Amino acid sequence: MSLSLSASAPRIPPFFLNTDHRQRCLAQLRSKHTGLEKYIYLNGLKERDPNLFYEVLLGNMLEIIPILYTPTVGDACSNYSHIWRRPEGLYVTIENKGHINQVLRTWASGQASRIAVVTDGSRILGLGDLGANGLPISIGKLDLYIAGAGIKPTTTVPICLDLGTNTQRYLEDPLYLGVRRKRPDAAEMDEFMKEFMEAMKDVFPQLLVQFEDFSTDNAFKYLDMFRSQYRVFNDDIQGTGSVVLSGFFNAARLASSAAGTPISEHRVLFFGAGSAGIGVAKQLMSFFTLLGLSEDEAKKRIYTVDSKGLITADRPGLQEHKKYFARTDYDGSALTKLIDIIEHVKPTALLGLSTIPNAFTEDVVKLLAKTNVRPIIFPLSNPVSLCELDYSDAIRWTNGSVIFASGSPYKPVEFEGKIYEPGQGNNMYIFPGIGLGSILSKARHVTDAMVEQAAISLASSLTNEEKDCDLVYPRLTRIRDISAHIALAVIRAAQKDNVDENALFRGLSDDALLEYIKAKQWQPTNIQSFPRL
Ligand SMILES: NC(=O)C1=CN([C@@H]2O[C@H](COP(=O)(O)OP(=O)(O)OC[C@H]3O[C@@H](n4cnc5c(N)ncnc54)[C@H](OP(=O)(O)O)[C@@H]3O)[C@@H](O)[C@H]2O)C=CC1
Ligand SMILES: CC(=O)C(=O)O
Ligand SMILES: [Mg+2]
């Protein structure tokens, strides 16, 4: 245990050092009644003794990650202005335009910083525009970098860009912590973002930037605008794409072997065509192209649905990001109901990134189970309250045949005497490894190949025991080891793409490099710059 106390400190109770303070912390945590109270408790523990906080987190990931991250982080964000206790991240506001560089320089660890998670609060999980309340999502993602990949806490920078909010109830809330104005128009926001990214590179030259939870149009726009200029990636588009590609490799193998059909014959229906839906659809193209299909053939295996129904190319005013997958082979009357779309498409896999809770109804799920020996259903919207399908319903309605992964965690379910384990298809399996690999290789950019190789590495990380349980993702408790392997794959891809700047790694064998990566993973000791007990 790494408790930062000296045995001689007079204020310590006499028998304290003979007790396990981690157990005391867990008992205190478990005595809280709501998720939000647990979040607040953990936040206080992190402030009092960060080493102990991370030690408790690493030892109890299955219990604590759902508090620091989805689903409870959603409550923490929605209520952040009311539960706020202390500064714990960096706010850059629209009013800072013109001197963003000076604002960034107020962050103490400057040159030593390695990774920033940056949100503008405009689409936090599926909860919409939370404005300045979005900061806990950046903090939660960085805690996963620390726990999952072993990134050193003092090198992480949580950032919320406070550009205003279009959510009226926040603007009217006297305790709201953000600037009181509506969001800027596109031209003003572009100017802000350009100044911000230039300043980030100047102040934090070694930094990887992860864009998080920007509204869909801006998510695509700023990824395209900055990805060849800076070391940046978008977690919702690329991280989610990569993690779902990975789970899909394993799910498709299970489904095809049960049905005795070729693995290349899957048809995938996306319910939701925002940054996550289209990001995943684009990444899933590699599933088919790696099997030898042409781009055109691969594209034909993918169908997308938005709030107006099946997306077809003849729909007037179609948004730019929806055009690539818009169907050109359907000319009947518009298909708006999911059940009718499923009748038409006959998908082998249904993926939900729509934010519509319980959208996968009993008749939808039963129809999929009727037409597939093992239907693949991934309801990926977060948090749990917005998930398209509850796990126990999925098991009951398919008599246990479903291959399931959701964005937020579900507990195992018992059905007719058998225990079924769900998967969690969440980018948290991927971004820690992508970040670690990018940082260590000093990659100038995050390339498509780095993201694809991360997925392949994750897909192949299942143990025999996990395969025997029909899992499509490894158990979360192995995340550190898995992230090290993902980092290795990411570094090798960076080298192939010639974007790496750490020449040392080129001379190392895979085994030696893996050992180096693992040795670099931070353990919970010796954070000197945080306040102590
Ligand atoms: N599991 C994971 O790792 C991740 C999960 N997510 C989750 O994905 C969800 C979506 O995120 P994002 O893509 O950024 O959000 P968006 O709001 O951009 O996208 C939502 C999409 O769902 C569509 N939609 C809304 N209502 C319906 C409806 N009634 N029927 C069909 N489609 C509908 C929207 O249609 P329209 O375009 O017409 O408005 C839009 O295309 C969120 O809940 C988020 O938490 C995101 C990233 C990672
Ligand atoms: C998981 C995630 O990034 C999201 O729901 O936005
Ligand atoms: Mg996100």
Residues with CB under 5 A from ligand 3 (ion): 213, 236
Whether 141 is a known active-site residue: answer yes
| Amino acid making up residue 374 | R
How much is the average pLDDT of 254-276? 97
User: Quick one: pLDDT at residue 525?
Assistant: 79
Ligand nearest the Cα atom of residue 408? 1
What residues form DSSP beta bridges with 414? 419
| 274-322 confidence digits (pLDDT tens) | 999 999 999 999 999 999 999 999 999 999 999 999 999 999 999 999 9
**DSSP annotation string for 436-471:** HHHHHHT-SS--HHHHHHHHHHHHTT--HHHHHTT-
Four-residue CA torsion sign, 140, 141, 145, 151 = negative
Residues with CB under 6 A from ligand 1: 123, 125-126, 216, 236, 240, 243, 271-277, 305-308, 353-356, 380-382, 386, 407, 425-427
| Interval between CA 138 and ligand 3 midpoint (Å) | 9
ipTM, 2 dp: 0.99
How many residues does the structure list for the chain? 533
Ligand nearest the Cα atom of residue 382? 1
CA end-to-end distance (rounded Å), the chain: 14
- Supply the residue whose CA is at minimum distance from atom 2 of ligand 1: 426
How much is the average pLDDT of 67-84? 98
Active-site entry in 141, 221, 282, 299: 141
Chain mean position to CA 347: 26
User: Quick one: pLDDT at residue 529?
Assistant: 44
| Interval between CA 273 and ligand 1 midpoint (Å) | 6
- Is 426 known to sit in a ligand binding site? yes
Compute the distance between CA of residue 483 and CA of residue 435 in angstroms, rounded to an integer: 9
Compute the distance between CA of residue 355 and CA of residue 126 in angstroms, rounded to an integer: 5
**Dihedrals φ, ψ of 99, to 5°?**
-140, 40
Confidence label for 162 from pLDDT (cuts 50, 70 and 90): very high
Mean pLDDT of the chain: 95
pLDDT at 530 over 60: no
| 1-28 confidence digits (pLDDT tens) | 545 555 556 678 888 888 899 999 999 9
- Is 63 known to sit in a ligand binding site? no
pLDDT at 390 over 70: yes
| 184-195 confidence digits (pLDDT tens) | 999 999 999 999
Q: Which of 379, 364, 346 is nearest to 261 (CA)?
A: 346
Whether 520 is a known active-site residue: answer no
Q: What are 5's two structure tokens?
A: 């106390």
User: Quick one: pLDDT at residue 533?
Assistant: 30
pLDDT at 457 over 70: yes
pLDDT at 271 over 80: yes
| Tokens 């498509």 found at | 448
Q: Return residue ranges of the chain for CATH 3.40.50.10380.
A: 69-230, 430-520
- Using a 10 angstrom Cβ sphere, with 0-12 exposed, 13-18 middle and 19 or more buried, the burial of residue 375 is buried
H-helix segments, 212-268: 216-226, 240-259
Query: According to CATH, what is the number of the domain 430-520?
Result: 3.40.50.10380
Residues with CB under 6 A from ligand 2: 70, 125, 213, 235-236, 382, 407, 426-427
**DSSP annotation string for 419-441:** EE--EE--GGGTHHHHHHHHHHH
How much is the average pLDDT of 95-99? 98
In the chain, what percentage of residues exceed pLDDT 70? 97
Instruction: Name the CATH superfamily housing domain 238-428.
Output: NAD(P)-binding Rossmann-like Domain (3.40.50.720)
Q: What residues contact 152, with CB distance under 8 A and at least 6 apart?
A: 114, 146, 522
User: Quick one: pLDDT at residue 111?
Assistant: 81
How much is the average pLDDT of 356-366? 98
Compute the distance between CA of residue 83 and CA of residue 177 in angstroms, rounded to an integer: 11
Chain mean position to CA 151: 16
User: Quick one: pLDDT at residue 532?
Assistant: 31
Confidence label for 108 from pLDDT (cuts 50, 70 and 90): confident
Task: Name the CATH architecture for the domain at 69-230.
Answer: 3-Layer(aba) Sandwich (3.40)
